[in-house]
Structure 1
Amino acid sequence: MTRLFYDFPLTVGTSIDLPKDIARHIMVLRLSTGDGITFFNGKGGEYQARIVGAERQLIRAEIVSFSQREIELPYRITLAQGIPEAGKMDWIIEKAVELGVQEIIPVATRRSVVRLNADRIEKRLSRWQSIVVSASQQCGRNRLLNIARPVDFGDCIQTFSRLPTVMFSPRAHESLASWTTRQAPHDIVLLIGPEGGFSPEEEELARQNGVIFLSMGPRILRTETAGLAAVSAINAFWEQSH
């Protein structure tokens, strides 16, 4: 059944006139009166609805029932991602939604190639949020991944000083696999560098703030691969323990 994000309160037994963008999408899908739709508004659960009127640009749907279905992870993964170029960030966000990440924090680092001014930040945030909605519709999540405003590396480190925070380095003495199997599932922050990686100064600041250094093997992973590979590995180990 078609799943669509509807950013308004929903109540079983009521009828709603759908916004123009959703109505256009329904028309593109060639849905008509009597067809079913699933709505979610990001607040949890999902609503089953059916189209009760379709006339020109106006689509009306009746909310039939509510389900508390959730597929969220039982622990919170935050991806603190060094800002890469636009196409890579789009990919990371889409796949992070599919893998169950709850929050992405774009981090400006010393070696970040992309520098965002205030105007560009607003445009990027709007684009990134659209990607989150689209990916959530596709993968079945009823709660939207949160994308924070970009922060500097130092501020990011200070923000998460009390949470288990991991940075990956081929020079680390313990592997992600070994560490994860010794941990009960818990909330975690993953620090991922941009294309050029973290600088020595940033790594030292991370050490001073209690960040855990782990290895993902002898190969150097690209920025768009590293975080997603780490999330996949953590999910594989921790979901197995349930």
Structure 2
Amino acid sequence: MSSLFLRADLADAPHAVGDGVALAGPEARHAVTVNRLRIGEVISIGDGAGLVVRGPIVTVEPAALEIRVESSTLDAAPVPEVWLAQALAKGDRDELAVQAATELGASGVIPWAAERSVSKWTGAKVAKGMERWGAIVREAAKQSIRAWVPSIEQHMNTKQLARLAEHATLLVLDPTAEARLSEVALPADAQVLILVVGPEGGIAPHELDLFESRGAIRVRLGDEILRTSTAGPSALSVLNVRLNRW
């Protein structure tokens, strides 16, 4: 059961120790009717952008509740940011990757229309897919009690994704790469790292060439071939250790 709930305008409301912070709307209804929270239980309310307050519930109504703040913290965004560029995949494999990446601390995710992606977002599916991934990161952030809810970047094709190498370090997961992610040199001044994960059929050779021509670094994990749903989260785990976040 999650004990973190989100209120986007939290920073604009009184939120110092001793203040009362109210929760209303769908978040409050879920807390009261689904989680069945009661007076005296301690929960956290965050804005998804670093601010989290925590305290006991002092009032409960069918679609609202209020806590008395016992602690208020503001966490800075982690540097470097670590993003997951996840290729669209069939079934729910891309969604599983997005969920796990959120729990593992990803700063954001990028839906990538790779050449070999079986799943395609076209027309109305783009907005629907973005909305779905947004809901996934929101719920996963709440479950893992994260102060920051990951961003969802626009749906990109390979050329658009490759252009991000102008301002970020792209780490392309490729099982044929010589360099291991656990050992490859990372730029000391990197502000953004983007892990690029291909679909079930892998990244097409010409896509790998394009990424490399823009300065991306091809890396591998171990000797095993991982599913698209597990490759990204596994790589995030490696970076969490290397960046001393674990």
- The 5 A counterparts of 1:98-137 are 98-137=103-142
* Cα distance in 2 for residues equivalent to 1:162 and 1:75: 12
Tell me the alpha carbon deviations over residues 122-180 of structure 1, each in whole angstroms, 9 at most, x when there is no partner: 22222221211211112121111011121111111012233221112233232222215
Q: Kindly indicate whether the alpha-carbon contact (under 8 Å) linking 1:48 and 1:64 is maintained by their aligned counterparts in 2.
A: yes
* Partner secondary structure for residue 206 of structure 2: helix
Instruction: Find the counterpart in structure 2 of residue 160 from structure 1.
Output: 165
Task: Kindly state the Cα deviation for residue 48 of structure 1 after the two structures are TM-superposed.
Answer: 2.2
Name the counterpart of 2:88: 83
Q: Quote the sequence identity (%).
A: 25
Which of 178, 189, 195 matches 2:194?
189
Residues 46 and 141 of structure 1, relative CA distance in 2, 3 Å threshold: same
The alignment covers a number of residue pairs equal to: 239
Residues in 2 aligned to 1:34 and 1:215: alpha-carbon distance in whole angstroms: 49
Alignment correspondent of 1:6:
7
Give the Å deviation of 1:203: 1.2
Report the alpha carbon displacement of residue 72 of structure 1 after superposing the two structures with TM.
5.8
Q: CA deviation at 1:106?
A: 0.8
Displacement of 1:61 after TM fit?
Answer: 0.7
Pick which of 88-97 and 217-226 moved more. 217-226
Map 1:1-242 → 2, pairs under 5 A: 2-9=3-10, 10-12=13-15, 13-16=19-22, 18-55=24-61, 57-68=62-73, 70=75, 73-180=78-185, 184=188, 186=190, 187-239=192-244
Shift of 1:237: 2.3
Moved more, 101-110 or 168-177: 168-177
Alpha-carbon contact 1:3-1:38 (below 8 Å) kept? yes
- Note the C-alpha offset of 1:214: 1.8
Give the aligned residue type for 1:18: A
What TM-score, normalized by structure 1, do the two folds share?
Answer: 0.87
Distance in 1 between residues matched to 2:148 and 2:179, nearest whole Å = 34
How far 1:75 moved relative to its partner?
Answer: 2.0
Structure 1: segments with no counterpart, 5+ residues: none
